[in-house]
Amino acid sequence: MICQEFDLEINHDEKTVLLTRFYNYLLESYSKRERVILIIDEAQNLPEKSLEEIRMLSNLESEKDHLIQMILVGQPQLKEKLRRKSLEQFVQRVTVYCHLNALDRAQVDHYIRHRLSVAGAQNPDIFNPEARDAIFKHSLGIPRLINILCDSALVYGYADDVKMIGHELIDTVAQARNLGERGDSQDSLPEEEEKIIEAATSDSLALLRQELEGRFKMLEEKIASQEDRISEYQQRIGVSSGAKGRTG
């Protein structure tokens, strides 16, 4: 899989052949002064066997330098997994740790405004203060849950022709997503909250697709109704104009 990500030929070769090919690629990149970085997302889902293979990749070096930098990104479960006795050698290879706590209320506000700005929103206050309070309450301060809440609320609001998102709409979305309320702690999420995140994100795309289909179907019906009214109005104008022409 790693060879695939770096556009290297695989051809159903054995692992030793692929490792040699990857090592040669690293050496070639090193000779060109190119830095090779491998980023693995959702690393908490990797089995220990895969983590051990990643550790072995860190042995690929030149005479004096490392040839590859690896970044593992994951949910809090990754931190717990790396505490296992069986992964001591892997942990010894880790040089930098970074743990991001949940966002506080002010950070949630800035995060929402930033996302809207990047998306090109003309109104950065489309979520009113009460809505942002509700997002903070239901999201646990987790950016992924903030995204789910905001995206779904925008879909609902667009379908219902809502100009400003309020807390009622956020509460509706949170209830549909079975999201809870955040506690006062800014530390690592407890186990039950981790389960909430997993449940909320595992099927989020499927749920969002269903919501989009339902809401856009409503929009199509509204548009069709408006088109019928416009057509009827145009016919009336035409009949009226024709009547006036005959009278004249």
CA–CA distance, 198 with 176 (Å, rounded to integer): 15
At 45 the pLDDT is: 92
Tokens representing 120 are 């090109």
Close Cβ partners of 147 (under 8 Å, ≥ 6 residues apart): 115
CA–CA distance, 120 with 161 (Å, rounded to integer): 19
Rounded to 5°, angle at Cα 70 from 69 and 72: 155
Query: Which residues of the chain register pLDDT less than 70?
Result: 179-213, 215-216, 238-248
Is the CB of residue 145 less than 8 Å from the CB of residue 176?
no
Q: Which of 103, 167, 101 is nearest to 132 (CA)?
A: 167
At 4 the pLDDT is: 82
Question: Each residue of 139-194: pLDDT tens digit?
Answer: 989 898 999 999 999 988 888 888 899 999 999 888 887 765 554 444 444 454 55
8-state DSSP, 114: H
At 181 the pLDDT is: 58
**Overall residue count recorded for the chain in this entry:** 248
Indicate the angle between helix axes 129-139 and 105-118, nearest 10 degrees: 110
